[in-house]
Each structure stands twice: as structure tokens, then as C-alpha cells.
Amino acid sequence: MTGILDKKDLEAKADTIVERIHTYLDAGKKVFTSSSFQSQSLPLLHIISRVDRDIPVYYTNTGFLYPETVQFADQLKRDLGLNVIALRPETPKIKQLDTAGRFFYASDPDHCCYLNKVQPLEPVLMEHDIWINGVRADQSSVRAAMAEEEPATHGCMRYHPMLGWDSKMVYYYRKYHDLPEHPLEAQGYQSIGCEPCTLKAGEGNERNSRWFGMNKTECGLNTTLVAGGN
């Protein structure tokens, strides 16, 4: 990583996001965010803590998450004073098996993601107006095609404040604000999801370690829950 980013420039970008979220709130919009509680999630969570710590921060404890991720979520809830809310899948794990007795993550990962990630969040979208979503354009071609603001499903609007940020900006924002890193990052993990579908970092894009060897790059939150998504 070469070149040091100016702290004032990053703060100006963060201030713009703060102002935008305040605009939604001042207009009476019901706002929430979702988080995977990875190191890359920290700038947005920190910015949200500067706006209103009552803004709900949802994540789904799928039952397949690394214990370190759940512990990290609890740590950030304490350290940043966040309103973290853990969702649970409607379908118990014992019923997430195919006819051969295999978990869906092995035989039908798209359906597994629907049950464990998409379905639990759908009622949240129905109850809110604005979904603050931390996708970045440099993470995948799907995300690169997104706009800063676009319709989600269930009448909700997605706001992507981090779309123009990259990993270097995330690194320096965390550095300037002394924000922690996910405990598995030091072990070589860069993109951390459910344990069965996550490997240590490989070549190329940071998300290449997710669903390795499968024709899959997204869990559905950023495809199925986009208006017009599949």
C-alpha cells in the first residue's frame, strides 16, 4: 500500500455522509443499516455512530458465522455505542437439508443464502424507508454497477455511501480513528462470511475467497433485495 491519504480529505467525505443521513432523518425517514461486521465495515459504522446511535444496525446470526464475528459485533456494540440487532433465520438448521441430507450451503448455496440472509431482512425493509448499505464499487462487478441511491424491494430505498471508497481509504480511516480489525484478518482472511463458504484470501479481488469454486459472488442482499433483482 503506497501513498498516505490525507486525514482532512477522508473527514470531508465522512462529513458528506453524515449530512446525507441527517437529511433523511430530518425528512422523517425511518433509517437502518446492515453490517457484516468485518474490518471493512468499520468506517461506515463509525460514521453512523456520529449521526445517531439509535439507528438500528442489523445482522443475521445465521448459525454458520465464525464465533469471532459474533464476538466482534458485540465488541463494536460496546465500543461505538451501536444499536446492534441480531436477526435469526426463520428456518432452523435441521430443516436446511436437501434430500441427500446435506446442508444447502453445499448443494444449493443460493437457497442457503436466501434462508439465512435475505429472508430474515425482508421484514426490516418493510418497516423502513432508507437502507444504508456499505457496498463498495471495487468489491465486485455487481457492486460497481450500482448507483449511490437506488430502489430496494418492499418500498425501501438503498443508500450506498461507501460506493466510491476503496480498501486504501478504509485502511486509513480506521488508522486515523484507531478502529480495530476483525480478529480473523490477522490470520489472512479479508472477506469473512459464513464459515463453510469462506476461505483465506486468494488472488485478485478480496471477495474471491467467498464461495470459492462456485459461480457465485453475492449472498443475495445486493441482488435479490434490489428492486428488479432476481
**Residues involved in catalysis:** 219
* DSSP per-residue codes, the chain: --SPPPHHHHHHHHHHHHHHHHHHHHTT--EEEE----GGGHHHHHHHHHH-TTSEEEEE--S-B-HHHHHHHHHHHHHHT-EEEEE--SS-GGG-B-TTS-BHHHH-HHHHHIIIIIHHHHHHHHH-SEEE----TTS-HHHHT--SEEEBSTT-EEE-TTTT--HHHHHHHHHHTT----TTGGGT-SS--BGGGB-S--SSSGGGGBSTTSS----STTTTTBTT--
CA distance 171 to 175: 6
Q: Are 116 and 64 in contact (CB under 8 A)?
A: yes
Q: Is 83 exposed, middle or buried (0-12, 13-18, 19+ CB in 10 A)?
A: middle
